[in-house]
Amino acid sequence: MSGEHTTNPPMQPIILSMEVDDDDSFESEYRLRIGNQVKYLIISPGTFYRDKLSFPLHGDLKTSLLNRTLAGVKCQWHHTKVDCLELENTQQLTAMVFEAVSHSILPITLPSSATMIVKVARFGWEIPRIEQETRAYQLLEGYGLAPRFLAHVHENGRIVGFLLEKIEGRSASLRDLSFCKTALKKLHELGLVHGDVNRYNFLVTEEGVKLLDFEHLRENASPESMSKELESLRAELVDESGRGGGFIHYIGSRFTRGSP
């Protein structure tokens, strides 16, 4: 995502995100930057040959404009909001997650070269996932169990994501079982179940174990679900199948619906 602020931003559309159906059986969706605004383009099946869908911004087409309110994150608990177009993508991690360098608009002091983690919903069907995690970070604020929540990210005023501090560390393994159990029990003491305790969602740092990826977090969890989650932890720390790792693995320049 390009984010340099200029007095007269370029009006040539820039593709920020796209979801292209391999079989061209469903609509293809595009998220575009045009000047200082973000617009959405939907292309009906059969409009282009599959190879043309990678850059569908040329040619004469029958088009229609639809002005409607897009869904946004309702849980707006943090005092800081950052425009997504002011965030320069320095490394793509997953379809929804990228790294960006810290900048002066944040009211907190970070080293000028500090890296932040940005997670955004590119399309409407991803908003519930961002909503869930935003709520999770609100519940975990001040407990030291997760990376620090720095700001909401908005697009034309609509909240679509968030900023997190980037913490250096490594994914957990079986040798970290006791530390991971301690972190998970602290989460359970808050009445919360993580919902996805794979080894990549435990980050082992100098400050202890931090939890990541709260898309499946559940509030007011039952003792039975907490016990079941703890019992599954050992097997999850052994599993090296590669699932999870939302802030670790870059999985290519194109993504299909359902990618992490």
Architecture of domain 170-238: Orthogonal Bundle (1.10)
Mean pLDDT, the chain, rounded, equals: 82
> Of 3.90.1280.10, 3.20.20.150, 3.30.200.20, 3.40.50.300, which CATH number belongs to 81-165?
3.30.200.20
Weakest mean pLDDT among 105-109, 138-142, 183-187, 213-217: 105-109
pLDDT at 207 over 60: yes
Classify each residue of 32-66 as buried b or exposed e, where b means 16 or more C-beta atoms within 10 Å of its C-beta.
bbeeeebeeeebeeeebeeeebeebeeeeeeeeee
Domain-wise residue ranges, the chain: 1-68, 81-165, 170-238
Q: Mean per-residue pLDDT for 2-21?
A: 67
Q: Please indicate whether residue 152 or residue 255 has the higher confidence score (pLDDT).
A: 152
The confidence score (pLDDT) of residue 256 equals 31
The confidence score (pLDDT) of residue 126 equals 95
- What's the pTM? 0.75
Coil, helix or strand for 116? strand
Classify each residue of 164-201 as buried b or exposed e, where b means 16 or more C-beta atoms within 10 Å of its C-beta.
bbbbebebbeeebbeebeebbebbbeeebbbbbbbbbb
